[in-house]
Amino acid sequence: MSSSSWHPLAPTTIADIAVWGPLAQHVDLHVELPDGVRVVGLVRDDDDWWSVPAKTAGELGSPADGVRYAFAVDGGDPVPDPRSLRLPEGVHGWSQVHTPPAPAPWSGRALDGDVIYELHIGTFTPGGTFDSAVDRLDHLVELGVGFVEVLPVNAFNGEHGWGYDGVGWFAVHEPYGGPDGLIRFVDACHARGLGVIVDAVYNHLGPSGNHLPEFGPYFTGGANNWGSTINLAEADSDEVRAYIMASVLRWFHDFGADALRLDAVHALVDHRAVHILEELSVRVAELSHELGRPLSLIAESDLNDPRLITSWTAGGFGLDAQWDDDVHHAIHAAVSGERQGYYADFGSFACLAKVLCGGFFHDGTYSSFRRRHHGRPIPVDHVPASRLVVFTCNHDQIGNRAIGDRPTAYLDSGQIAITAALVVLSPFTPMLFQGEEWAARTPFQYFTSHPEPELADAVRTGRRAEFAEHGWHTEDVPDPQDPETFRRSTLDWSEPAQPEHAAMLDFYRSLISLRSSESELSDGSFASVTVTYDADAGWFAMHRRSWSIVCNLGTKPVGVPLNVAVALAWGDYHETGSGLALAAHTVAIGRRVTD
């Protein structure tokens, strides 16, 4: 079986089962049949694929879904199929032949500039499953978002985790509801007009359940922050790339996803002439044409390299969007006053103005955190601002704080409203993190449930050592393995009914409604935004054509020389003959008044 014949739906019968194993000398298939487990010696073809002999396949027939199987390499213990479509007993258990139901018909939804809502299936609801998440989708419809982005749902070891330690790139985490549960969730989103983005990790595999090295050279000798470097450009890397490609296409083809968010693409080491990201972009565009609906790829990258979102014809990789941490850092530092770590270069009004008008702060400038120059400018005349995904917070910016505290733990409601207005009404593609819309008080902490004691201890001690280096008291860092760390991170759905949370929820709904109803606020071009500010007085204004978002970031009332007919505000203000008078931590939004 060659990579060119691989289809995301295979294997669905025993005859389809095959595995790429250039490092193996012998591979046995262990398969559960009604009369017990049968061991079948596989045959190798010229492309190093091992498959069931034709005669044996005929004897075994084509059993229905549910048959379990595993591979034993060179006499070793049986291990799951690297392309397992289902792992009902977890990542160390046997694979299962499974044909998921086809997703319901859906015409698709374009990503460009739409509002994204990021959630973690395990903590979005107390139930922690796809089906329990469906019960809360109407809340998202009423909020006005267009896309739901789920943190990784591919198979990982343990019951609970963020999902970034996945090892089953073709399977769906069983405690969430498995592959069929994901399809029910996607269909429920689509039935409500919501697109679905799946967070996918291809830069490393988790530390538990990764059996790929037994089969082939999936890794190089290098490593990144999270694990061994994936072999994208060395010898035998064609099949490794095909492995990633098939996984990517499966999310779209088999599960009906509308977009993928590709985790930390800067850790994908590829020195080929055609980078894996460009190859993925081309193939996903082809699949989009085949399926007749929009499909998108979103990169998470810390490179500040606009080539990721530049078209193929202009020498770029052709991705549809990328996360922009610089916008987050600029807004967060300006509002919160924090300057530790990577916030050191951010916080000034000039910095905030630069990112709102140009996307990146570090665009060839010196980064004191990295101790080198970083990034390059975005060609704003050719690359739309809407290709940048921005946020007031996300799973990283909360969960990777030492105690996983949300902005509600250290900002007042006016400061939160300011950050929300600057993000939601920006020319970029805004993203919210679960519970942000009602100023949730529940933390989002880093949690794991590794069954292996040595791995659990390594994660626990490593986490505390990392934050100790940044000055945090180690006793303040939650134990990732403590079940309470997971439970504390679950949203409290009683909060939106409480007056202070209900008021913020209404404000977010109004912001999103304004964005969707006013073409000048949904304009995704860099040309649509300008800024004015007075750093000494403490006010900052982002202008979107005839609209202005005027913020008092200071601690004292301030007069702003802008005539604005306010349509939406948070905090005390009044209009004067010469402009606006804003109380501390107030944001006022409206059209500018002209003579």
Per-residue pLDDT of 526-544, as tens digits, reads 999 999 999 999 999 999 9
Over residues 573-585, the pLDDT tens digits come to 999 988 999 999 9
Q: Is the pLDDT of residue 5 over 60?
A: no
Query: CATH says 519-592 is which class?
Result: mainly beta
Tell which residue, 74, 115, 81, has the closest CA to residue 97.
81
DSSP secondary-structure letter at 301? -
Q: Write the CA distances from 20 to 54, 60, 156, 240, 576, integer angstroms.
A: 17, 21, 22, 10, 73
pLDDT mean over 312-337? 97
Tokens of 359: 């996307």
DSSP state of 466: H
What number is the average pLDDT over the span 181-196?
98
Do 3-96 and 519-592 show the same overall fold?
Answer: yes
pLDDT at res. 10: 53
Q: How far apart are CA 134 and CA 479, in angstroms?
A: 30
> How many helices (H) does the chain have, and how many strands (E)?
15, 29
For the chain, what is the radius of gyration of the CA atoms? 25
Residue 560, pLDDT above cutoff 80: yes
> What CA–CA distance (Å, rounded) separates 262 from 276?
12
Taking the domains of the chain in order of start, what are their residue ranges? 3-96, 116-202+260-265+275-450+481-513, 451-480, 519-592
Whole-number pLDDT of residue 11: 65
Domain 3-96, CATH class in plain words: mainly beta
Q: Report pLDDT for 475.
A: 79
Tell whether the model's pLDDT for residue 467 goes beyond 90.
no
For 546-551, what is the mean pLDDT? 98
Residue 6 has pLDDT above 60, yes or no: no
CB within 8 Å of 309: residues ≥ 6 apart: 299, 316, 317, 319, 320, 321, 322, 383, 387, 388
Flag the least confident range among 211-215, 221-225, 289-293, 443-447.
221-225
Residue 388: predicted pLDDT: 98
Taking only the tens place, the pLDDT of each residue in 99-142 is: 889 999 999 999 999 999 999 999 999 999 999 999 999 999 99
* Closest among 568, 580, 565, 593 to 534, alpha carbons compared: 580
Q: What is the mean pLDDT of residues 383-410?
A: 96
pLDDT, position 300? 98
Residue 88 one-letter amino acid: P
pLDDT value of residue 104: 97
Q: What is the pLDDT of residues 264-298, one digit of tens each?
A: 999 999 999 999 999 999 999 999 999 999 999 99
Which residue shows structure tokens 């922050």? Answer: 225
In the sheet where 564-570 sits, what is the strand order? Answer: 529-534, 539-544, 547-552, 586-592, 564-570
Among 106, 105, 86, residue whose Cα is nearest residue 97: 86
| Cβ neighbours for 469, distance < 8 A, ≥ 6 positions apart | none
| Ranges of H-type helices in 292-378 | 325-336, 349-358
pLDDT band at 4 (very low <50, low <70, confident <90, very high): very low
Does residue 317 have a pLDDT over 60? Answer: yes
Structure tokens at 304: 């500040």
pTM here is: 0.97
Instruction: Output the pLDDT for position 489.
Output: 98
Mean pLDDT of 301-323: 97
Q: Smallest Cα–Cα separation from 29: which of 17, 44, 21, 20? A: 17
Cα–Cα distance for residue pair 207/166, rounded to 1 Å: 9
On the question of pLDDT at 256 being above 80, the answer is yes
**323 forms bridges with which residues in the sheet?**
389
Q: Are 143 and 437 in contact (CB under 8 A)?
A: yes
Q: What topology is assigned to 116-202+260-265+275-450+481-513 in CATH?
A: TIM Barrel (3.20.20)
Please report which residue ranges of 2-150 form alpha helices under DSSP H.
54-60, 121-124, 130-134, 137-143
Q: What are phi and psi of 376, to 5 degrees?
A: -150, 155
Taking alpha carbons only, the member of 258, 206, 294, 253 closest to residue 85 is: 253
Query: Mean of the pLDDT values across residues 503-518?
Result: 98
Q: Specify whether the CB–CB gap between 341 and 316 falls below 8 A.
A: no
Q: Which residues pair with 172 in a beta bridge?
A: 154
Q: How much is the average pLDDT of 167-192? A: 98
Say whether pLDDT at 341 is over 90: no
Residue 7: predicted pLDDT: 46
CA-CA distance, 225 to 135, in Å (whole number)? Answer: 37
Distance, in Å, from the CA atom of 204 to the CA atom of 447, rounded to the nearest integer, reads 19
Percentage of the chain exceeding pLDDT 90: 88
pLDDT at 468 over 90: no
**Is residue 353 scored above 50 in pLDDT?**
yes
137, 387, 432, 439, 440 from 497: Cα distances, Å: 17, 35, 19, 12, 12
Other residues' Cβ atoms within 10 Å of the Cβ of residue 381: 8
Max intra-chain CA distance, the chain:
90
Mean residue pLDDT across the chain? 94
Catalytic positions are 263, 300
Judged against a pLDDT cut of 50, whether residue 446 lies above it is answered with yes
How far apart are the C-alpha atoms of 453 and 458, rounded to whole Å?
9
- Mean pLDDT over 486-495 rounds to 98
Torsion, Cα of 585, 405, 395, 542 (10° steps): 10
